[in-house]
Structure 1
Amino acid sequence: MIQLADSIKNSKKFQTVKTIVNKLKSNGHVAFIVGGAVRDLYLGKSPEEFDIATSATPDEIQSVFEHTKSVGQSFGVMLVIVDSLSFEVATFRKDMKYEDGRHPVNVIYTKDQKEDVNRRDFTINGLMLDPDTAEIFDYCGGIQDIQSKKIRAIGIPEERFSEDYLRMLRAIRFSNKLNFQIEDETQKALYKHASNISSISVERIRDEITKIIQDKNPGKGIIQLSESGLLKCIIPEIESLKGVSQPVEFHPEGDVFRHTCLVLDMLDDDKKSNTELIYGALFHDVGKPDTFTETDRIRFNRHEYVGATITQKICKRLRFSNKQISHITSLVKEHMKFGNVEQMKKSTFKRFISIDNFEDHLALHKADCLGSHGNLSLYDYTLQRMGELQNEPIAPKPIITGDDLISLGLTPGPKFKAILSEIFDEQLEGNFHSKEEGIELAKTILSKQ
């Protein structure tokens, strides 16, 4: 029996899941809260979600509850909806032979909760809880492994991983999230089967990687992925950062791989849930191996542009949306521009800080500095200068347009864009404020052409 905090016991979510369990029981079925929710409750944490396992079949679940939805009926999983809250309710089952590293050939329902536990992934996720009594049922040694801070596969590790190779990534995610060690036999099986991760869909892999690097120790997660052999199978471009030396005067922390892990860790905690930013941090120096030169010192000329091209290819491979690809690629492409902020004209600075999602560029720059030399002077300068401009429009609508140039007799052509850009720069600098002043400036520029 565990002691549940009042804040959890009295929460709408817990009370609702308790109602569902009790309704199943009152209809003659066995039911428990299962999985990660029980683990979190044992650790004194508030679960993000609650799952239920029951002896009731999908048809029986539908007969008990008014609002249900099938989300995996062939695997015995139903969604029960109560007061706008949704909970997965799964029938106890034992999985038979797996052929594709993900799906069982067939599923057999069972009335024995022990058999249901035996087909789950890790002991820490194999616990069952009676919400009425707060009694935990442990058929796999999960409590002992929680106390020992171990990630251990239930039963034979190779069999558990071969049933769903995504579990290899989940092992690393739980290890990283909970700061638990992966048990030796489980780790051996993980390392042995790492290359089989390629049999899993890209989307499922991407989502697990995202969960790993959005947690509180993203750098550690990347290191674990590398040590396991999974990283080179999923994002070999990051594995290639290992051993790429950097100039010690700017990067006393070590090679590019070490720096990348530190940058991930140095992102502010409230930024780590930002998917595009966390991947921007992961990929920001991915162009360095291809641009490495050593002259007066080690240099990576234009690595941000090379890196942006590589990043775009990786993101397409990982099947991010076009919007996400554009966002992540921009973070990589623009990250070196902070080195020039002190020399930027007002117009150039305004253009720079008006790029889409600039707050993410600023957050990446801060982490980039903290993950290397630690000097935040350019970050502080940027914030100071932005403060000085807070009463000025940063990205105003251009006063002078192409139609104005045409009215002055200029024919659209190659010069058009350059002249408009020059006039807009003068507007950003504050050198004119009206259409009339802009027209006069345009006439002056045209007279010099």
Structure 2
Amino acid sequence: MIAGAGKPVRRGAHGHVPFSVVPNANNAPQTLKPAPVIAPVAEDLGRRFKDAGFRLALVGGSVRDTLLGRLGNDLDFTTDARPDQVLKIIRGWAEAVWEVGIAFGTVGCRKGGYQIEVTTYRSEAYDRTSRKPEVSYGETIEEDLVRRDFTVNAMAVSLPEAEFVDPYSGLGDLAQRLLRTPGTPEESFSDDPLRMMRAARFAAQLDFEVAPEVVTAMTEMADRIEIVSAERVRDELNKLILSDHPRKGLQLLVQTGLAARVLPELPALRLERDEHHRHKDVYEHTLTVLDQAMALETEGPDLVLRLAALLHDIGKPRTRRFESDGRVSFHHHEVVGAKMAKGRLTKLKYPNDIIKDVARLVELHLRFHGYGTGEWTDSAVRRYVRDAGPMLDQLHKLTRSDCTTRNKRKAAALARTYDGLEERIAQLKEQEELDAIRPDLDGNRIMEILGIPPGREVGKAYDHLLELRLENGPLGEEAAVAALKEWWAAQV
């Protein structure tokens, strides 16, 4: 909690107070003091704007993260200067300048390891059919802050004086770990419907609660998300999924009906029960698999792994069958699910490589269970590695995560069986080149031995030798040539 957060904070004119933060052990702001703790590059930039006759303030997430003790190298500023005036001020000072967002009032630059964006005071709103905001410039920082998505992002620090600007009580909401909108949530979400997704994203990133009136507005206005471009929705979904608490954000999307419009396969799982009756529904199982997959990550958040965990069972609703013995089955749900995952990710405009990798993991996530209690032949191990290809490590993690049984004995048995498979893979890797399984003879050698030109026959011969390689391991040159000639003779 922030000391004194529930009490009035002494402010100067226009809600300004001298700004400084002393974090406590939990990285929450403990008090405000006169001495500033703003990055020198920000103070320097503030002086440049003041000398040019303009106002500049650190704003939004940069202030929020400073208060949380987690400010990074991305700094956002707002100013009364127009974009062409901003360019004049920063050119010659910044190490690099870019104008990609200048049509929306934003100028970007790099200075001393910081990525900086300076945006002119503005307001923006959607009409009922447009996917792009209409931008108009404002005159005051308070006018600029009220257009921001949440009060915790509607705080600023004016520079170079380092005065704290908090007209919408963002500091108190930060202390309570609460997401509210500066104006009414209905006005905010009407201005930019993507803010509904951002509420779920910030809940997941910051582990904050969302105010009841905001949840209500999200629920009532969920259909407005459909005017937002797929690319913007995808980017917010990625940030949510890659956060520390994605379950929290995903549950909010499902609760409010937003998921039904951007990721309908997820809420559809609430109606299904898995084939072993181990979980209340497949939806809860899926969220648990996601949690467990995250716990196995070793090199930071893995978007492909997390998407695969989230989508691995989405084929179950379409494949559900009620058996004569009372059981429920979902035969081939992994194949159906892979196609569905590909379709959904394509609609969300994901890159082709991510679509391909996620769909492959969904398709393969049950392969391990097809081999019973561990009777893996060398051939089966080779095929498992070949089919997984570069996704093998992620397949290991997804398969292990998919075990959510509460039966500790059964869970331990499954873990031991998979340990055994990984040991078999390691052993074969020492003996063979499992990471790049190829026939003993390449296409050129096949044509040379058979005396044939390039064509379908070469491909068929190659596939035959690959099957022999998978089944028997390396044959060696002599045995491979003999096997090729024997196969060729049978084709005539």
TM-score range, shorter chain: 0.7 to 0.9
Output the TM-score relative to the length of structure 2.
0.81
Separation of aligned partners in 2, 1:258 and 1:63:
55
Alignment-derived partner of residue 260 in structure 1: 286
Do 1:400 and 1:423's aligned partners in 2 also have CA atoms closer than 8 Å? Answer: no
Alignment-derived partner of residue 176 in structure 1: 204
Q: Which runs of 5+ in 2 are unaligned?
A: 1-18, 24-37
In 2 relative to 1, CA 75–439 (structure 1 residues): closer, same or farther, beyond 3 Å? closer
Q: Does 1:115 align with 2:123?
A: no
Alignment-derived partner of residue 348 in structure 2: 318
Do 1:423 and 1:442's aligned partners in 2 also have CA atoms closer than 8 Å? Answer: no
Separation of aligned partners in 1, 2:315 and 2:192:
33
Structure 1 position 275, deviation (Å): 2.0
Do 1:202 and 1:318's aligned partners in 2 also have CA atoms closer than 8 Å? Answer: yes
Alignment-derived partner of residue 335 in structure 2: 305
In 2 relative to 1, CA 39–257 (structure 1 residues): closer, same or farther, beyond 3 Å? same
* Match among 37, 43, 52 for residue 27 of structure 1: 52
In 2 relative to 1, CA 347–56 (structure 1 residues): closer, same or farther, beyond 3 Å? same
In 2 relative to 1, CA 3–73 (structure 1 residues): closer, same or farther, beyond 3 Å? same
Do 1:259 and 1:372's aligned partners in 2 also have CA atoms closer than 8 Å? Answer: no
Structure 1 position 156, deviation (Å): 1.5
Q: Does 1:14 align with 2:34?
A: no
* Match among 361, 375, 398 for residue 343 of structure 1: 375
In 2 relative to 1, CA 99–244 (structure 1 residues): closer, same or farther, beyond 3 Å? closer
Alignment-derived partner of residue 102 in structure 2: 73
In 2 relative to 1, CA 308–348 (structure 1 residues): closer, same or farther, beyond 3 Å? same
Q: Does 1:424 align with 2:469?
A: yes
Separation of aligned partners in 2, 1:247 and 1:103:
45
Separation of aligned partners in 2, 1:81 and 1:135:
24
Do 2:278 and 2:405's aligned partners in 1 also have CA atoms closer than 8 Å? Answer: no
Separation of aligned partners in 2, 1:104 and 1:312:
30
Structure 1 position 313, deviation (Å): 1.2
Structure 1 position 80, deviation (Å): 2.7
Structure 1 position 442, deviation (Å): 4.0
Structure 1 position 176, deviation (Å): 2.0
Do 2:241 and 2:303's aligned partners in 1 also have CA atoms closer than 8 Å? Answer: no
When the two chains are superposed, the root-mean-square deviation of aligned CA atoms in Å is: 2.9
Separation of aligned partners in 2, 1:292 and 1:414:
39
Structure 1 position 320, deviation (Å): 1.6
Moved more, 188-197 or 47-56: 47-56
Separation of aligned partners in 1, 2:250 and 2:126:
32
Per the alignment, in what secondary structure is the counterpart of residue 139 of structure 1? coil
Alignment-derived partner of residue 288 in structure 1: 316
Do 2:204 and 2:247's aligned partners in 1 also have CA atoms closer than 8 Å? Answer: no
Note the alpha carbon deviations across 1:218-276, whole angstroms, 9 max, x for none.
2222211110100111121222111211134xx52321111111111111354663222
Alignment-derived partner of residue 40 in structure 1: 65
Q: Does 1:385 align with 2:385?
A: no
Alignment-derived partner of residue 400 in structure 1: 441
Separation of aligned partners in 1, 2:47 and 2:406:
55
In 2 relative to 1, CA 262–371 (structure 1 residues): closer, same or farther, beyond 3 Å? farther
* Match among 315, 340, 356 for residue 390 of structure 2: 356
Note the alpha carbon deviations across 1:407-439, whole angstroms, 9 max, x for none.
3589928964663233222552x5x33x11322
Do 2:440 and 2:465's aligned partners in 1 also have CA atoms closer than 8 Å? Answer: no
In 2 relative to 1, CA 443–183 (structure 1 residues): closer, same or farther, beyond 3 Å? same
Note the alpha carbon deviations across 1:333-353, whole angstroms, 9 max, x for none.
111111145333213312322
In 2 relative to 1, CA 439–190 (structure 1 residues): closer, same or farther, beyond 3 Å? same
Q: Does 1:150 align with 2:195?
A: no
Separation of aligned partners in 2, 1:244 and 1:18:
56
In 2 relative to 1, CA 201–318 (structure 1 residues): closer, same or farther, beyond 3 Å? same
Note the alpha carbon deviations across 1:10-44, whole angstroms, 9 max, x for none.
xxx93333322232223232211110111111122
Separation of aligned partners in 1, 2:405 and 2:345:
24
Give the total of aligned pairs: 437
Structure 1 position 386, deviation (Å): 2.5
Do 1:152 and 1:182's aligned partners in 2 also have CA atoms closer than 8 Å? Answer: yes
Alignment-derived partner of residue 61 in structure 1: 86
The residue type paired with residue 240 of structure 1 is A
Separation of aligned partners in 2, 1:423 and 1:190:
58
Structure 1 position 100, deviation (Å): 4.5
Q: Does 1:437 align with 2:437?
A: no
Q: Which runs of 5+ in 1 are unaligned?
A: 6-12
Do 1:203 and 1:318's aligned partners in 2 also have CA atoms closer than 8 Å? Answer: yes
Moved more, 361-370 or 136-145: 361-370
Pairs within 5 Å for 1:216-255? 216-248=244-276, 252-255=278-281
Alignment-derived partner of residue 26 in structure 2: none
Do 1:3 and 1:134's aligned partners in 2 also have CA atoms closer than 8 Å? Answer: no
Note the alpha carbon deviations across 1:270-318, whole angstroms, 9 max, x for none.
4663222221111111111111123243221111111111111112111
The residue type paired with residue 385 of structure 1 is R
The residue type paired with residue 306 of structure 1 is V
* Match among 361, 372, 386 for residue 331 of structure 1: 361
In 2 relative to 1, CA 210–378 (structure 1 residues): closer, same or farther, beyond 3 Å? farther
Separation of aligned partners in 1, 2:380 and 2:100:
52
Separation of aligned partners in 1, 2:108 and 2:367:
49
Note the alpha carbon deviations across 1:149-171, whole angstroms, 9 max, x for none.
21001111111100000000001
Do 2:200 and 2:249's aligned partners in 1 also have CA atoms closer than 8 Å? Answer: yes
Pairs within 5 Å for 1:266-277? 266-269=292-295, 270=297, 273-277=301-305
Structure 1 position 92, deviation (Å): 1.8
Q: Does 1:82 align with 2:111?
A: yes
Separation of aligned partners in 1, 2:460 and 2:142:
76
Alignment-derived partner of residue 3 in structure 1: 21
Do 1:259 and 1:371's aligned partners in 2 also have CA atoms closer than 8 Å? Answer: no
Output the TM-score relative to the length of structure 1.
0.88
The residue type paired with residue 433 of structure 2 is P
Separation of aligned partners in 1, 2:126 and 2:442:
68
Moved more, 91-100 or 124-133: 91-100
Alignment-derived partner of residue 5 in structure 2: none
Per the alignment, in what secondary structure is the counterpart of residue 285 of structure 1? coil
Moved more, 408-417 or 85-94: 408-417
